[in-house]
Amino acid sequence: MRLSRCGLLLLAVTSAASISAHPQTHSPRTPAAKPPWKRYCSPEADFCFKYPSTWSILGEIFAGNGVVVAPPQKQDRALWNAITVAMVVPSPKGDEEPLGLDGVIEQAESGLRERGQDFETEQRQQRTVDKKPAQLLKVRYHENATDRDWVEEMAFIDGPDGEIYSVALKCAPENLTKLDPIFARVLSSWTLPEPEPPANTGDEDVPQKPAAPPKRPSSAQSPAPN
């Protein structure tokens, strides 16, 4: 059956009147639960961190001392936004002097300048990550190899034995607003395992009984009368 334009209009008005005459109560929508995050622990470098469950591990780097995670993307892998978590400097051996956070940042800035142009340091500040000293470096540059502008946020963490760890975001400038909160959460989840307590050798000191208080001297007797 074909309805005329007037009939369609009347049907719409009738439907609206019916909804007004019989109001419906709608329960408030429950916000969709955010997917849980995954936890990754490096078998070589011992650090652990969390990342979004919708992201994927792209592979290990630094001979298994680091890993790269990234969200799904369609462009060439060289253009992907990604977060890298790694131990970038091992513990010094023998008489080697620890490189320290300042030395690592100087090397990082030098390497980035060699890879691109229009290099600019936007931020550098002291941080604390997992109760350990850290520094945050944020830079922008144009990479010659990909002919693309990049933003990198790198947190360098001072390990307990002179080693240096890094949590770094590399992304296109237009994606920074979306990815920066994720980088901050990944960084806050980064941790090293707690040291195990020393094993019980069985030679624990037996608690000694407290020494008895000294006896009070007896009161002096009065001299006998003559």
Using one digit for the tens of pLDDT, what is the confidence trace for 36-48?
A: 899 999 999 999 9
How much is the pTM? 0.72
What pLDDT band is residue 115 in, cutting at 50, 70 and 90? confident
Q: Would the pLDDT of 186 be above 60?
A: yes
The residues that bridge with 50 in the sheet, in sequence order, are: 39
Fold of 37-189: Protein Transport Mog1p; Chain A (3.40.1000)
What pLDDT band is residue 205 in, cutting at 50, 70 and 90? low
Picking from 73, 74, 76, 104, the residue whose alpha carbon sits closest to that of residue 88 is 104
Domain spans, the chain:
37-189
The CA-based angle 12-15-20, given to 5 degrees, is 125
